[in-house]
Structure 1
Amino acid sequence: MSAIPADLRLASPWRSALPAVVALVVAIALIYRDTLMAMVDVWSRSDTFAHGWVVAPISLWLVWRQRERLAALTPKPAPWVLLPMGVLALAWFAADLVVVNAPAQFAFVGLLILAVPAVLGVEVARAILFPLLFLLFAVPFGEFTVQPMMEWTADFVVLALQWTGVPVYRTGLHFVIPSGSWSVIDECSGVRYLMASFMVGSLFAYLNYRSYKKRAVFMAFSLVVPVVANWLRAYMIVMLGHLSGNRIAVGVDHILYGWVFFGIVIFVMFVVGMRWADPDEPPAGAPAPGLGAAASQAATQRALAVLAGAAIVALAPHAALWGLQASERAQAAPQLQLPASFAAWNAVEAPAIGWSPHFVNPSLAVTRSYSGPAGTVTAHVFYYRAQNAERKLVNSLNGLVSHNERQWTVKRPGTVTVDLGGQAVTLRSAEVVGPERGSAVPREHLVVWHGYWVDGRFLVGDLQAKLAGAASRLRGHGDDGAVIVLQAAEATPEASTAALQAFAREALGELAAALERTQAQR
């Protein structure tokens, strides 16, 4: 029996392509491990995003279901995909530079997705497009919707109570009915129901519909249903408590009833969706023909070349960031001392007020009160240095009150302008109102101004502060930034505003100088 020539021996084209794409995915995960671990940390501590743990296993299972279809395809590396991978790597660098988690995490997951067409080709990626895009559900995204969804829930519950004849008095996210008081907090926003519904709804649409139009309609349906269902759930909880004398639907029952109701809603949504389900796809064709030894070797070389190029693209922004961080690593802890006086304003003992701004995990927090001809003003400075996922100047958790605050309410948000020697400085303004203390004791009523300070500039917008922080780091000035909060509680809001205006004109310049000295002490 004669031997078969080497160039006629056939090898599966997947023999080299599959290890190459696995190696690239692992390499990207290791290079971006800090971003990956930040995602894992959120999955572990947040009920809203706990579904992140099952996203990757579901995606792999969906790919496995397509194994016969994939076997009929021939993997062909697409080097041009390195260009969009480079764009995503730059996006990750920009997001990490300003410590914005979600865009950095989307960029990381995007790199994992593009690894498939880069090594296996566009045709293969198209065959498993949904399983690849399903990985985007692993990104903990959507916290910005918490506040508006809390507002919508409170609006609906109050309106529904009025429609059903229950007297209700509302203040912000708090409302009182004859049987007791209720508050709409983070857990009542419905974000967790929205995230879960959209993920399982998208999976249901992919598995049961062949039409892209049907899939899109059902996915949109899975976004609308949990929002409306959460409104009904909140109203149901309040009414059950009201009609039972607050014996049911309170405490732990509140959460339990909510999930039971949500489970029923999802079941009904699936029952409705099954009425338009499409038949399964026909079986795939025959496996792709094998390659000769020479062709197989050439395919392996192409896959390895793309793998190396993609690894370099993924590593490049890290090299730049590591160089930038090396110059910031030896920064000392910030030291800030507010002056004892500003012109006619002299330091006094802080007035007894049960409110303080809610800015989490600053590197340094300093508070001092001043008395002057126009009244008393308290200045809070929250200073941030060496910012990271837990400590950052612009944070969705930061604000005048926390999301779970049940006593203090923020009203009339807006902006004000202060003239500092011909330079106009814009600050945010609001009124912060305390809890009811009975008819004989008036509610505390504060006027509050606040704004960011970054690299010598006062800024009012979150995006402005982020961009200014990135520019400061690139110029070698570090990532230092601060929030300045000024509060006054005079007899009337007008008097408080006048006190803040007078204090800001005389004190903001010296406050900025003190912050610049602190930044220079890096």
Structure 2
Amino acid sequence: MTSRALSMARLSGSAVLGWRGHLAALGGLSFLILSLFHRDVIAMVFIWWNASTFGHCLFIPILIAWLVQQRLPGLQQLEPIAWAPGLLWIALGGFAWLLGAAAGVAVFRHGALILMLQGAVVTLLGPAVGRALLFPLFYAFFMVPIGEEIVAPLQLITARLCMMFLSLSGVPAHMDGIFITTATGYFRVAEACSGAKFVIAMTAYGVLVCNVCFTSWPRRALFMTGALMLSVLANGVRAFATILVAHLTSIDAAVGFDHVLYGWIFFAIVMAVVMAAAWPFFDRRPGDAWFDPEQLRGSSWGAVSLPLAFGAAFGVVMAAPLWLIVSAAASEPLLGAPTPPEVKGWARTTEQPRYPWKPRFDGADHLVMARYRNPAGQVVDLAIVSFDRQEEGRELVGFAQGAADPDQHWSWSSPAPAPRDARGEQITAPGPVVRHVVSVYKVGGAPLTGSAPQVKIDTMKARLLGGDQRAGAILISVEEQRGMPADAAIAAFLQDVGDMKDLADRSLSIR
């Protein structure tokens, strides 16, 4: 054995010995983080297992382990150190968790958990190891179930693609939001048909391919752009093909065709096409080193003792939940259920709608509804919702909360006109029955808003700074009927009901 080989063997052996204590400390700190935030861990795994959109997240930990294993030969040549500046990374994760917990935004808490674990790696193993593991650490973000926000836009894009392909194929069709009507039937581009699950999974897969198969950043950018565009286009073709099969045969045949194509074949075909098109342009050769250990070795600036780094890291992790416990204000009580207002020119009516409607606000302390009619024959439904405080499972805005309750077979179909500081949307029920809904939200002393992100911000401020946590919503809704436009009825009611802020304050017992 040559002297160079002997020196490399000694270096590798000493590095392995140095790793043991640092890996033990990292394992202990990771266990403490996962235990302290076990509710978020359980929630993430529950989403992975039960939501098909995020089923691919189950494979991300395995892929991260594989990526680390690929880098082991180089890692063994590095010496881990405890690095004090890594505590800033953990603190950033703790602060993000605090914001997410205060605002009731699960994705912030889940992302913060990943940040804290990443920070633990950098703090207890050092900057050289952190740089060597930069991509595996970054790839851990794909464990966060995020992307539901793209469902509604992708529904509209898929519907428009269907209409384009139907027009090219000579099939007459009419589109209303995410609903398409042909001579054969009435089709809805549902959330599951939006293609969001494939776009999200393709993003995770594409980023992995970019790291493993490419070194050129322009090629990586072109690959990701092409992969995502092909996913959206292919999903539009799939939805169009389902409608076309129904047009040529029957609805039942189309459902069976879509089930097979959607569940088993579609994504595999798209992945195969993407990889076949990109294969000639791969520029990372098998066996290429993932990093150069010599370039990563540097000074030991910021190094501290391992016990000190471990104790400081644990203290930083504990700070976020302790702050929330200390600073969260006790909620002001509600003085009872809100009372529907008397509106000049409108009388209460008990006539029934064509399809039952009731907004969904799980955990609300009160949900009061009233129906009004004016002399012009316009009929308006008013819903007033109030919470004494918001917490997990009792949130003013969130998944399935709001005007369209999926359990009652109501579906969001498109945006609708609304006044400033309000939210307008069109929802549809079987029939079809179309409703326009205008919603306003209020948290404590904050101004009225129609923005879900603003509600989260107002909630976060109230919980972090000890403000008033009472929260509520007012929804004004009208069925669309021939000769009786819904938007006109809503505008007339809003004009006559008076100041919405006063109504919201009275509903929350603020005045």
Same-fold call, TM cutoff 0.5: yes
Equivalent residue in structure 2 for 1:86, among 91, 110, 127: 91
The answer (yes or no) to whether the contact 2:329–2:468 under 8 Å persists in 1 is no
Instruction: Using the TM superposition, give the Cα deviation of residue 325 of structure 1 relative to its aligned residue in structure 2, in angstroms.
Output: 5.2
RMSD between superposed Cα atoms in Å:
3.3
Counterpart among 21, 24, 30 of residue 26 in structure 2: 21
Q: Equivalent residue for 1:279?
A: 285
Asked whether the equivalents of residues 350 and 378 of structure 1 are also in contact (C-alpha less than 8 Å), the reply is no
Alignment partner of 2:437 out of 448, 451, 456: 448
The 1:445–1:121 alpha-carbon spacing in structure 2 relative to 1, beyond 3 Å, is: closer
What whole-Å deviation, never above 9, does each CA across 1:483-510 have from its counterpart, x for those lacking one? 1112345863375145413442177634
Distance 1:409 1:72, change over 3 A: closer
Q: Is the 8 A contact 1:355 1:408 kept in 2?
A: no
Deviations 1:455-510 (CA, angstroms, capped at 9, x unpaired) = 14422222322222222224534533111112345863375145413442177634
Matched, 1:176 2:153: no
CA positional deviation for 1:434:
6.7
Q: Distance in 2 between matches of 1:142 and 1:433?
A: 24
Cα separation, 2, equivalents of 1:284 and 1:445: 56
Partner SS, residue 498 of structure 2:
helix
Query: Is structure 2 residue 48 aligned with structure 1 residue 46?
Result: no
Q: Does the Cα contact within 8 Å between 2:84 and 2:303 map onto a contact in 1?
A: no
Q: CA deviation at 1:516?
A: 1.9
**Structure 2: gaps spanning 5 or more residues:** 1-12, 295-301
Q: Distance in 2 between matches of 1:358 and 1:46?
A: 23
Q: Which segment is superposed worse, 142-151 or 462-471? A: 462-471
Change in Cα spacing, 1:33 to 1:385, as seen in structure 2 (3 Å) is: farther
TM-score when scaled to structure 2?
0.84
Count of paired positions: 483
Q: Is the 8 A contact 1:393 1:483 kept in 2?
A: yes
For structure 1, the 5+ residue unaligned runs are 1-8, 289-298, 418-425, 438-443
- Measure, in 2, the Cα distance between the counterparts of 1:159 and 1:10: 65
Cα shift at 1:398 = 3.2
Name which of structure 1's ranges 366-375 and 227-236 shifts more when overlaid on structure 2: 366-375
- Separation in structure 1 between the aligned mates of residue 108 and residue 407 of structure 2, nearest angstrom: 26
Asked whether 1:486 is paired with 2:476, we answer: yes
The percentage of counterpart residues that share the same residue type is 24
Match runs of 1:415-454 below 5 Å: 415-416=418-419, 426-429=421-424, 448-454=437-443
Distance change >3 Å, CA 436–CA 397, structure 1 → 2 = closer
Q: How much does 1:386 deviate?
A: 4.4
CA distance in 1, matches of 2:150, 2:407: 15
Distance 1:202 1:447 in 2: 40
**Structure 2 CA distance, aligned partners of 1:286 and 1:474?**
45
The alpha-carbon distance between structure 1 residues 59 and 445, as it changes in their structure 2 partners (threshold 3 A), is closer
Aligned partner letter, 1:487: S
Query: In structure 2, do the counterparts of structure 1 residues 412 and 474 end up closer, same or farther at CA, with 3 Å as the change threshold?
Result: closer
Shift of residue 178, structure 1, vs aligned partner = 2.4
Aligned residue for 2:123? 118
Q: Cα gap change, 1:65/1:118 in structure 2, threshold over 3 Å: closer, same or farther?
A: same
Compared CA separation, residues 249 and 346, structure 1 to 2 (3 A): closer
| Matching residue's letter, 1:449 | V
SS in 2 for 1:369: strand
Q: Secondary structure at the match of 1:459?
A: coil
The answer on whether the counterparts of 1:385 and 1:480 sit within 8 Å (CA) in structure 2 is yes
Please give the alpha-carbon distance, in whole angstroms, between the structure 2 residues aligned to 1:373 and 1:40.
55
Q: Distance between the aligned counterparts of 1:109 and 1:96, measured in 2?
A: 15
Report the residue type matching 2:105 in the other structure: V
Asked if the contact 2:92/2:115 (under 8 Å) is kept, the reply is: no
Please name the residue that 1:6 is paired with. none
Pairing 1:454-469 to 2, within 5 Å after superposition:
454-456=443-445, 457-469=447-459
Q: 1:394 aligns with which of 390, 394, 397?
A: 397
Secondary structure at 2:448 match in 1 = strand
Deviation at 1:58, TM superposition (A): 1.7
With the length of structure 1 as denominator, give the TM-score of the two structures. 0.82
